[in-house]
Amino acid sequence: MSKYCPSCGEELVDNAKFCKNCGKNLENIENPQDVNTSQSFQVPVVENDHKAAVIVGYVLAVLIPLFGFIVGIYLITRNDSQNAKKHGKYVIIVAAIVWFISFMLIR
């Protein structure tokens, strides 16, 4: 008897607690009333919010805007993380502002 991940459709072992493909928590699937609450504790389990890249992106955006742009583009192309996409836009905006200001100061 096989189960399938409700999130990504990956075939699962019978007693799987997490989907090995997408990381979805599977423990509460038999209890639909608990599915809504699974979202909140799923966040620390799924380590794909690219937090380190977001921080590096902001730092580079201020210090070296060109590299900030590159990290920002990297972040907005992460399809597994809304968080990365959101911060990627901000990183690019910050880099653009810093770049503009430094350009004005140099002249």
- Per CB under 5 A, residues contacting Zn ion are 5, 7-8, 10, 19, 21-22, 24
Q: Are 54 and 91 in contact (CB under 8 A)?
A: yes
Residue (79 or 107) nearer to Zn ion, CB: 79
Smallest separation, CB 77 to Zn ion (Å): 21
Q: How far is the CB of 3 from Zn ion (least distance, A)?
A: 11
d(CA 42, CA 28): 12
- Of 32 and 104, the one with the shorter C-beta distance to Zn ion is 32
Classify 90 as helix, strand or coil.
Answer: helix
Cβ of 14: how many Cβ atoms within 10 Å?
7
In the complex, the smallest distance separating the C-beta of residue 105 from Zn ion, rounded to whole angstroms, is: 50
CB closer to Zn ion out of 39 and 106? 39
H helical segments located in 1-107:
32-45, 51-63, 65-76, 82-106
Q: Output the smallest distance, CB 89 to Zn ion, in A.
A: 27
The structure tokens listed for 11 are 């075939």
Nearer to Zn ion, 7 or 48 (CB): 7
Question: Token digits for 75?
Answer: 């972040």
